[in-house]
């Protein structure tokens, strides 16, 4: 079977990242906090999906799109994962810029559409309500810059390790997207209170400028920390689990995720 074209790969990354942002951030914007009133009007109660629901939403976006387009692009949907895949020998370096551009543009389009929909509710104010990432006073739990950097680097590195392991030749590839999606769910369960969970520069960029409220000025953290984590994961997995092999970037077509029919998300 012929390998997917470059255009097909970039389209897959565009649509996959769009779905990740639209589904994950959309669940946080529209469904995380919903208050209902009792029939007698005397009491109110929470009917929103909360942190658990948002975490599951992010995981489900990855599972669904990894099954849908993982065989085409590797289903990265995340610049940090693309970097780690290139470092770990699963993707050619020449493909990295195109992946990054597709991911960021797909995420931004999803963020824009989320904003348009959200403004359909009377009284909605975008500032501070677009599921942006942050530290300090912009962290859901007021966590410091140092705490956020440590969490984002560590979680992205582990995410990349799981992805590389779940998609290598020795693994059961049919279950790879499930392992990856569940890992992203777990990551959100851990770190929504810390940073609102990024581990993905495209996801952070997608809503930062629409959110305002300090998010654009803090966006650098959610590029630097996840990319560092992806770099660490991309180095560690081949060294520790592939018999000490370390190839800085794919050297031939069979090493790319798409040509091996596995997915490398999130």
Q: State the pTM of this model.
A: 0.90
pLDDT at 170: 84
Which DSSP letter does residue 28 get?
I
Residue 262 reports pLDDT greater than 60: no
Look at 111-120, 157-166, 216-225, 256-265 and tell me which has the smallest mean pLDDT: 256-265
Q: Is 34 helix (H, G, I), strand (E, B) or coil?
A: coil
Q: Is 45 helix (H, G, I), strand (E, B) or coil?
A: strand
Query: Buried (b) or exposed (e) across 65-93, using 16+ Cβ within 10 A?
Result: bbbbbbbbbbbbbbbbbbbbbbbbbbbbe
Supply φ then ψ for residue 74, to 5 degrees.
95, -10
Here the tokens at position 60 are 């489900």
Residue 96 · residue 250 · CB < 8 Å? no
Residue 247 reports pLDDT greater than 60: no
Taking the C-alpha atoms of 176, 181, 184 and 188 in order, what is their torsion angle to the nearest 10 degrees?
-160
Non-local (6+) Cβ contacts of 85 within 8 A are 74, 76, 91, 163, 164, 234, 257, 264
Q: Outline where DSSP puts E strands in 29-116.
A: 35-37, 44-46
Note the Cα 115 to chain centre separation in Å.
19
Q: What is the pLDDT of residues 183-196, one digit of tens each?
A: 999 999 999 999 99
Q: How far apart are the first and last CA of the chain?
A: 26
Non-local (6+) Cβ contacts of 153 within 8 A are 225, 226, 228, 229, 232
| Fold exhibited by the domain 6-255 | Glycerol uptake facilitator protein (1.20.1080)
Is residue 98 packed enough to be buried (19+ CB in 10 Å), middle (13-18) or exposed (0-12)? middle
Percent over 90 (pLDDT), the chain: 79
Calculate ∠ Cα 72-73-76, nearest 5°: 140
Residue 165 reports pLDDT greater than 80: yes
Residue 182 reports pLDDT greater than 60: yes
Taking the C-alpha atoms of 239, 245, 247 and 248 in order, what is their torsion angle to the nearest 10 degrees?
20
Here the tokens at position 235 are 């180095």
Sequence spans of domains, the chain = 6-255
Size of the chain in residues = 266
Residue 178 reports pLDDT greater than 80: yes
Name beta bridge partners: 46. Answer: 35
Residue 22 reports pLDDT greater than 60: yes
Q: Which of 105, 110, 137 is nearest to 213 (CA)?
A: 137
pLDDT at 79: 98
CA–CA separation, 110 and 170 (whole Å): 35
pLDDT at 251: 45
Mean pLDDT, residues 116-134: 97
CA quadruple 215, 80, 24, 4: dihedral positive or negative?
positive
Residue 113 · residue 199 · CB < 8 Å? no
């Amino acid at each position: 079977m012929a390998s997917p074209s470059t255009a097909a790969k970039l389209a897959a990354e565009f649509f996959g990242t769009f779905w990740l942002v639209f589904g994950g951030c959309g669940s946080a914007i529209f469904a995380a906090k919903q208050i209902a009133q009792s029939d007698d009007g005397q009491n109110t109660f929470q009917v929103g999906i909360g942190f658990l629901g948002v975490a599951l939403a992010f995981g489900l976006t990855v599972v669904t799109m990894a099954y849908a387009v993982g065989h085409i692009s590797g289903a990265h949907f995340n610049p940090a994962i693309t970097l780690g895949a290139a470092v770990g020998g699963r993707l050619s370096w020449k493909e990295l810029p195109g992946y990054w551009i597709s991911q960021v543009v797909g995420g931004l389009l999803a963020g824009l559409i989320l904003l348009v929909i959200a403004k359909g509710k009377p009284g909605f104010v975008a500032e501070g309500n677009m599921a942006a990432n942050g530290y300090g006073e912009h962290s859901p739990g007021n966590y410091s810059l140092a705490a956020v950097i440590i969490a984002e680097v560590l979680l992205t590195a582990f995410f990349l390790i799981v992805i590389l392991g779940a998609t290598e030749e020795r693994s059961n590839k049919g279950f790879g997207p499930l392992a990856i999606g569940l890992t992203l769910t777990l990551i959100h369960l851990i770190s929504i209170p810390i940073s609102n969970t990024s581990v993905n520069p495209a996801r952070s960029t997608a809503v930062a400028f629409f959110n305002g409220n300090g998010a654009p000025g803090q966006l650098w953290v959610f590029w630097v920390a996840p990319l560092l984590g992806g770099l660490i994961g991309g180095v560690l997995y081949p060294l520790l689990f592939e018999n000490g092999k370390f190839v800085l970037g794919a050297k031939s077509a069979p090493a790319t995720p798409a040509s091996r029919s596995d997915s490398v998300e999130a």
